[in-house]
Amino acid sequence: MLVGIGPGSVDHMTQRARDAIAESDVVIGYVTYIKLVADLIEGKEIIRKSMTEELDRAVSALEAARQGKKVALISSGDAGVYGMAGPTYEVLFQAGWTPDDAVQVEIIPGASALNSCAALVGAPLTHDFCAISLSDLLTPWPTIARRLDAVALADFVVALYNPKSGRRTRQIVEAQRLFLRHRRADTPVAIVKSGYRRRQNIVFTTLDQMAEADIGMLSTVLIGNSNTFIRHGLMVTPRGYANKYDMADGGTTREGEKAGRSLSTGLLGWLQQVKLEHAEGADVAELARRHRLPQDYIQSVLDEPDELPETEVATEEDAA
Amino acid sequence: MLVGIGPGSVDHMTQRARDAIAESDVVIGYVTYIKLVADLIEGKEIIRKSMTEELDRAVSALEAARQGKKVALISSGDAGVYGMAGPTYEVLFQAGWTPDDAVQVEIIPGASALNSCAALVGAPLTHDFCAISLSDLLTPWPTIARRLDAVALADFVVALYNPKSGRRTRQIVEAQRLFLRHRRADTPVAIVKSGYRRRQNIVFTTLDQMAEADIGMLSTVLIGNSNTFIRHGLMVTPRGYANKYDMADGGTTREGEKAGRSLSTGLLGWLQQVKLEHAEGADVAELARRHRLPQDYIQSVLDEPDELPETEVATEEDAA
């Protein structure tokens, strides 16, 4: 059982995670995570591993399971997000394991650091977001740098995992440099250290000050998008209601917009607009510039036959 | 209390989420979510809202709280991820609320759809990932399209939220079109419908077939990165151990790499390499092409003074 224990406070573990630990004969994990669940593991066989021994943890888990023991392999946050789920399957496949094996695998999801940290600072992840690890222990720097560059430009909210360690101090400086090419210097940033743990510490700063902040191995860095703001000590990314509703006017729908329907600048409205601009003489290169999208994408939507008017399908509708 | 109830099965709720509902006088939520927690809300005042009434839910919550009632405003997954946390703060700020107000706010994190769906299909989120909502009810299509384009190119694993509804059927086709410009046609895709609920359904497909799959309002679509594979019905994104360790050889460290240290192609190794190539005659434009990074970024790292050799700091080290 690959158990995501959430941020570390037992209150924020799921029932299934608690049950999995209770059912297990052996608990395996990084020493710090073992400490976080100390109250739940009395009388069990405990295998403590250091930070860099992920593959060893998976190998130990497989060995114990092959002996018929029930094993809980614990990860902080979610076992699937930079957690033990990946290395465990890599080790299992290498060992010739298949799902028909006597050893059965269950992954137990939990709130990852980005979920917990977001809950503590306000509502920063209300719109599209990314997680990027700044650790270059397994990932070449150009891959990380290309990702930072791409999402800074495309205006995602970004959670940086493993932002800094004793040895890795310059990655956060480079991340800042890449972001400042596309984002305002005063873009809000939250740095959450040990969220929901005893030494919890939250700092709000801005993109241009971020690299000077106190950041360590137990920190997650949240960088807002171009609409994110900090008010009264809360970091909030608007979902976009103001695109459709007049918030100051009791939430009445703006002219040209309909509740429960796509925005007038949604896909179909936008397609009509692009075709109109094209008919009025704008060529594909000009349209690509105006709409900041690739030329061949613009060309391909122009090549599609005209969309029928929005049909009145009576069906479950999506959020907002 | 803004309560993230997780995927929907009570087993996967946190203790704090259960307690929050138990403590509350009033429970407010979308009808489907109210059904998911039916066992926990007997005897409470229930306010059921339809899908498009997020702002109404927040207003009702504030009204009830102002009357001195304890309110649980429930979201499926995580309240902070496309959930009620954002609209609630927007409504609170609009109403002049501040954190000193008698009405206190707590956000209770939970596993979001991407966490739950990932746990059900294997280990797809082991490397950098993004969440993008395809709903254009509040977000203009060009914003969504630019984000799809950026992360397809930068090789993120991507979770698509709100991929399709009765009325919105073409967004997933456009997402596919944008991805196919950068990703292989056989890129693995998992479609998880009603994860951890009674009608759970998981389908594996590929990027070029994705738009034809059965996708609805209760589906999350996970698109792998260029290394993601499906084996024995499990979708796995390798973390990158193979960059450093010889997996077939019992996990011995590859030549030139050190356990617990940055890769030879990590930031400092890469900086040395770029400077060397520059010294050997490659100009900035050529280096930008070779490393697929912006010219001005390459220029700025070349302008930095030389890094000292990696110091031997005895400190907590990061994963892998």
Q: What is the pLDDT of residues A134-167, one digit of tens each?
A: 999 999 999 999 999 999 999 999 999 999 999 8
Neighbours of A213 (CB within 10 A): 19
Residues from chain B contacting residue A223 (CB–CB below 8 Å): none
- Dump pLDDT digits (tens) for A103-127: 999 999 999 999 999 999 999 999 9
Pick the closest to residue B111 from A190, A35, A12, A33 (CA basis).
A12
Residue A167 to residue B310, Cβ atoms within 8 A: yes
| Distance from the B93 Cα atom to the nearest Cα atom in chain A, whole angstroms | 9
Task: Please report which confidence band the pLDDT of residue B51 belongs to, taking 50, 70 and 90 as the band edges.
Answer: confident
- Dump pLDDT digits (tens) for B144-159: 999 999 999 999 999 9
The tokens for A145 are 């740098």
Cβ pair B83, B77 in contact under 8 A: yes
Residues from chain A contacting residue B120 (CB–CB below 8 Å): 107
Residue B261 to residue A166, Cβ atoms within 8 A: no
The partner residue sitting opposite A15, judged by closest CB among B13, B93, B129, is B13
Residue B115 to residue A165, Cβ atoms within 8 A: no
The partner residue sitting opposite B262, judged by closest CB among A120, A136, A154, is A136
What percent helix, strand, coil does chain A show, rounded to 5?
Answer: 35, 20, 45
Cβ pair B160, B220 in contact under 8 A: yes
Q: Which of B141, B200, B236 to mutate to test the interface with A (most CBs of A within 10 A)?
A: B141
First-to-last alpha carbon distance for chain B, in angstroms, is 37
pLDDT, position B307: 61
Residue B115 to residue A111, Cβ atoms within 8 A: yes
- Concatenated DSSP letters of B271-287: HHHHHHHHHTT--HHHH
Secondary structure of A116-138 in the HEC alphabet?
Answer: HHHHHHEECCCCCEEEEECCCCC
Residue A126 to residue B85, Cβ atoms within 8 A: yes
The partner residue sitting opposite B111, judged by closest CB among A78, A240, A266, is A78
Residues from chain B contacting residue A86 (CB–CB below 8 Å): 123, 126-127, 236-239
Residue A122 to residue B85, Cβ atoms within 8 A: yes
The partner residue sitting opposite B132, judged by closest CB among A128, A171, A238, is A128
Q: Which spans in chain A are helix H? A: 15-23, 31-36, 54-66, 85-94, 113-121, 141-153, 171-180, 241-244, 267-279, 284-291, 295-303
- Dump pLDDT digits (tens) for B5-44: 999 889 999 999 999 999 999 999 999 889 999 999 999 9
| Distance from the A95 Cα atom to the nearest Cα atom in chain B, whole angstroms | 9
Mean pLDDT over the full length of chain B: 92
Cβ pair B161, B154 in contact under 8 A: no
Residue B308 has pLDDT above 60, yes or no: no
Q: Which of A128, A156, A263, A268 to mutate to test the interface with B (most CBs of B within 10 A)?
A: A128
The partner residue sitting opposite B126, judged by closest CB among A85, A145, A245, is A85
Residues from chain A contacting residue B98 (CB–CB below 8 Å): 232
Residue B139 has pLDDT above 60, yes or no: yes
Q: What is the ipTM score, two decimals?
A: 0.94
Q: Which of B170, B262, B277 to mutate to test the interface with A (most CBs of A within 10 A)?
A: B262
The tokens for B83 are 């959930």
The partner residue sitting opposite A14, judged by closest CB among B14, B56, B80, is B14
pLDDT, position A301: 92
| Distance from the B85 Cα atom to the nearest Cα atom in chain A, whole angstroms | 5
- pTM as predicted: 0.94
Q: Is B221 exposed, middle or buried (0-12, 13-18, 19+ CB in 10 A)?
A: buried
Residue A319 to residue B125, Cβ atoms within 8 A: no
Q: Residue A271's closest chain B neighbor by CA?
A: B141
pLDDT, position B310: 52
Residue B16 to residue A11, Cβ atoms within 8 A: yes
The more confident residue out of B313 and B293 is: B293
Residue B319 to residue A135, Cβ atoms within 8 A: yes
SS3 B152: helix
The partner residue sitting opposite A132, judged by closest CB among B128, B167, B240, is B128
Please identify which residue in the block is written with the tokens 């504030």. Answer: B62
pLDDT, position B212: 96
Residue A156 to residue B130, Cβ atoms within 8 A: yes
Residue B89 to residue A315, Cβ atoms within 8 A: no
Residue A310 has pLDDT above 70, yes or no: no
Residue B188 has pLDDT above 60, yes or no: yes
Task: Please report which confidence band the pLDDT of residue B241 belongs to, taking 50, 70 and 90 as the band edges.
Answer: confident
Please identify which residue in the block is written with the tokens 């030494």. Answer: A199
Residue B138 has pLDDT above 80, yes or no: yes
CB pairs under 8 A between A and B: 457
| Distance from the A148 Cα atom to the nearest Cα atom in chain B, whole angstroms | 9
Please identify which residue in the block is written with the tokens 């709100």. Answer: B162
Q: Which of A14, A246, A293, A295 to mutate to test the interface with B (most CBs of B within 10 A)?
A: A14
Q: Residue B178's closest chain A neighbor by CA?
A: A297
| Distance from the A207 Cα atom to the nearest Cα atom in chain B, whole angstroms | 17
Residues from chain B contacting residue A63 (CB–CB below 8 Å): none
- Concatenated DSSP letters of B92-121: HHHTT--TTSSS---EE----HHHHHHHHH
Residues from chain A contacting residue B51 (CB–CB below 8 Å): 260, 316-319
